[in-house]
């Protein structure tokens, strides 16, 4: 067995992270989002933020592989391209900010981002303005910055882009394609920047197995007739992850 795999299996908190990513998979299967909002607060208790960012991006690539072909056919490619280009430009900025801040500050930022996102989703907040091309570039750029800094690639899109959408099918497709592109950009920056290690890649592979399994289980068990109950359960899991990850509880 490779030494790096043995080191990955000895990663502090690996058992807790496996349980957390499994719960995140169920939530994603039920609601279509929430993985990073559940995992990041827990993961940052055991690993450096850079490793958590890499884990979120790499597992995101694995999980969207099966969804990408259909989403690509349905997506508005011009709109997704604008989001992806902006995100590609700002991911390095997010990674740079991450490198300048201490772990405690980053954990507070992540908790705040998740808390605001969860509040917006639960209360049904909707932004009624019009998204022009400057707005799309702004959203993509913000998503790239926040994603590179904390590993939270989805919240910016959830709050602004999805909130103003009219065509649910196209929005879902756009989101899948955009987040896949954003994950790929983050992974590339971390790998070519020499930040991601082989050991962290092994951890990502280990976490991907329960994550994919529970995502499929959650999707299979989902009953539209009980959507409200599923969402409330999912929101509760996210809230529990946020609370457990608050630095004040260390």
Q: Give the pLDDT confidence score for residue 120 in this predicted structure.
A: 82
- State the average pLDDT over residues 157-173: 69
pLDDT in tens, 21-40: 999 888 877 776 778 889 99
Whether residue 109 contacts residue 149, with contact meaning beta carbons closer than 8 Å, is answered with: yes
State the pLDDT at residue 193: 83
Arithmetic mean of pLDDT over the chain: 85
Distance CA 200, CA 4 (A): 9
Q: How far apart (Å, rounded) are the C-alpha atoms in residues 175 and 179?
A: 6
Q: Which two tokens stand for residue 139?
A: 């959203």
Which of 49-53, 74-78, 135-139, 237-241 is the least confident region? 237-241
Distance CA 73, CA 130 (A): 25
Domain extents in the chain: 15-249
Q: Which residues contact 155 (CB under 8 A, 6 or more apart)?
A: 36, 37, 113, 114, 116, 117, 146
As a whole number of angstroms, the distance between CA 242 and CA 112 comes to: 9
pLDDT for 196 equals 74
Q: How many Å apart are CA 16 and CA 118, to the nearest integer?
A: 22
Distance CA 233, CA 143 (A): 26
């Amino acid at each position: 067995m490779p030494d790096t795999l043995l080191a990955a299996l000895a990663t502090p908190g690996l058992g807790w992270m496996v349980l957390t990513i499994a719960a995140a998979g169920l939530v994603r299967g039920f609601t279509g989002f929430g993985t990073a909002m559940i995992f990041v607060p827990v993961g940052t208790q055991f690993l450096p933020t850079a490793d958590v960012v890499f884990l979120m991006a790499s597992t995101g690539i694995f999980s969207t592989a099966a969804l990408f072909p259909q989403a690509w056919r349905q997506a508005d490619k011009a709109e997704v391209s604008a989001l992806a280009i902006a995100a590609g430009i700002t991911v390095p900025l997010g990674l740079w900010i991450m490198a300048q801040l201490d772990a405690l500050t980053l954990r507070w930022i992540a908790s705040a981002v998740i808390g605001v996102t969860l509040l917006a989703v639960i209360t049904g907040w909707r932004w009624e303005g019009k998204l022009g091309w400057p707005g799309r570039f702004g959203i993509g750029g913000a998503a790239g910055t926040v994603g590179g800094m904390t590993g939270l690639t989805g919240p910016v899109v959830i709050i602004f882009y999805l909130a103003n959408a009219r065509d649910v099918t196209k929005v879902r497709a756009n989101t899948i394609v955009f987040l896949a592109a954003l994950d790929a950009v983050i992974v590339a920056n971390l790998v070519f920047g020499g930040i991601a290690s082989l050991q962290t890649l092994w951890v990502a592979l280990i976490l991907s197995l329960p994550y994919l399994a529970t995502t499929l289980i959650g999707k299979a068990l989902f009953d539209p007739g009980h959507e409200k109950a599923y969402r409330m359960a999912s929101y509760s899991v996210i809230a529990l992850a946020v609370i457990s990850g608050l630095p004040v509880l260390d």
